[in-house]
């Protein structure tokens, strides 16, 4: 927005904007994810998907979609207001040290562990931005306005691997635990999917440090294999689609949505959004748009894809619960048999 309105002139405000981009990206991705969760709740209610039972939420305490939208809008308004206050003060001649920083409000939505871990797998760019912001303030770089200090630090560069691995590692360990408890090999296959994602994330971080042909080839090979792995699991396992013998061609027998073309459109959209990682290899420039804005846009596409995935994941789980009678609980009635003579 600062680029479009002309409030940001690179010669004068470059130091400020270099530090603002990670903060703005972090909050933008978080609020976008929260907004999409509100959209998920609205669509689940419209489709009569029992998300409360699936996610084990307390019906009397769980957030309604209006509550989620209100929290998202209020928090976003505060952050955007603070941002424009900073820009306004800077354009009126105030120095960076004279502008008071207001910490943003971080809101967490409690869900089942595996569902939350899946959400974090789509927020790796946000976690990387959070890593930079933490380094910027912990090391005291804000005092010297040296925004490149963290980028040059070896510990920061090494920590980027751990930050990129953490969501996938968490999810992989959950798969291992479920395999240990239930003994189903499908959990080990699912674990392999997150291991492939970890390898792809590690290759991308290494390519960012050393842009050589060898690392580029490794990124393309590993990321392509991980993408095929993830697409198969998305469509067949998580969404329950692509059933060849289904009465609904290449979908499944039971559908919650009346219009079948929505499923085909969603699969095509999920396929396209899964390929967003190609931008990290091609580095295509969109005119005069800053590369950070392009990176934020690509990260937002993954969050949007996760919001789309959420709906069909819970739809499939809802149908499995109903089909296998897992949502039925035996409740003893407070009645006793009475003889007809009485």
pLDDT tens digit sequence for 298-321 = 999 999 999 999 999 999 988 987
Global confidence as pTM: 0.77
Residue whose pair of structure tokens reads 């979609």 in the numeric block: 65
Mean pLDDT of 163-188: 87
**Using an 8 Å Cβ cutoff, are 219 and 200 in contact?**
yes
Q: Is 39 exposed, middle or buried (0-12, 13-18, 19+ CB in 10 A)?
A: middle
Asked if the model's pLDDT at residue 192 lies above 90, the reply is yes
Token look-up 């005119």 returns 287
Handedness of CA 255, 256, 262, 268 (dihedral sign): negative
Please tell me the predicted confidence (pLDDT) of residue 111. Answer: 42
Q: How many CA atoms lie within 13 A of 115 on its CB side?
A: 19
- The b/e string for 133-164 (b: 16+ C-beta within 10 A; e otherwise) is bebbeebebbeeebbeebeeeeebeebbeebb
Of 193, 294, 200, nearest to 235 by C-alpha is 193
Task: Specify the pLDDT at position 305.
Answer: 95
Q: Which has more confidence, 52 or 234?
A: 234
């Amino acid at each position: 927005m600062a680029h479009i309105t002309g409030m940001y002139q690179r010669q004068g405000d470059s130091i400020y904007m270099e530090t603002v981009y990670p903060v703005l990206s972090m909050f933008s991705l978080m609020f976008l994810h929260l907004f999409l969760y509100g959209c998920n709740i609205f669509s689940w209610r419209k489709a009569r998907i029992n998300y409360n039972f699936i996610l084990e939420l307390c019906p009397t305490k769980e957030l309604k979609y209006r509550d989620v939208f209100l929290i998202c809008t209020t928090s976003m308004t505060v952050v955007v207001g603070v941002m424009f206050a900073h820009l306004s003060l800077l354009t009126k001649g105030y120095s960076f040290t004279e502008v008071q920083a207001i910490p943003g409000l971080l809101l967490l939505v409690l869900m089942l562990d595996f569902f939350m871990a899946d959400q974090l797998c789509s927020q790796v760019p946000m976690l990387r931005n959070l890593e930079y912001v933490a380094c910027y303030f912990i090391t005291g770089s804000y005092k010297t306005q040296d925004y490149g200090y963290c980028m040059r630090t070896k510990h920061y560069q090494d920590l980027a691997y751990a930050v990129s691995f953490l969501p996938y590692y968490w999810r992989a360990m959950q798969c291992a635990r479920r395999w240990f408890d239930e003994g189903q090999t499908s959990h080990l296959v699912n674990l392999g999917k997150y291991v492939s994602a970890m390898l792809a994330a590690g290759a991308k971080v290494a390519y960012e440090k050393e842009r050589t042909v060898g690392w580029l080839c490794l990124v393309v090979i590993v990321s392509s294999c991980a993408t095929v792995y993830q697409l198969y699991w998305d469509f067949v396992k998580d969404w329950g689609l692509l059933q060849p013998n289904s009465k609904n061609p290449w979908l499944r027998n039971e559908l919650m949505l009346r219009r079948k073309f929505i499923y085909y459109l969603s699969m095509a959209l999920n396929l396209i959004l899964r390929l967003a990682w190609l931008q990290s290899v091609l580095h295509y420039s969109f005119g005069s748009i800053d590369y950070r804005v392009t990176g934020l846009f690509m990260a937002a596409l993954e969050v949007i894809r996760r919001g789309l995935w959420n709906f069909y994941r819970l739809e499939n789980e809802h149908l499995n619960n109903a089909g296998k009678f897992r949502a039925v609980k035996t409740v003893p009635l407070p009645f006793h048999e009475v003889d007809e003579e009485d």
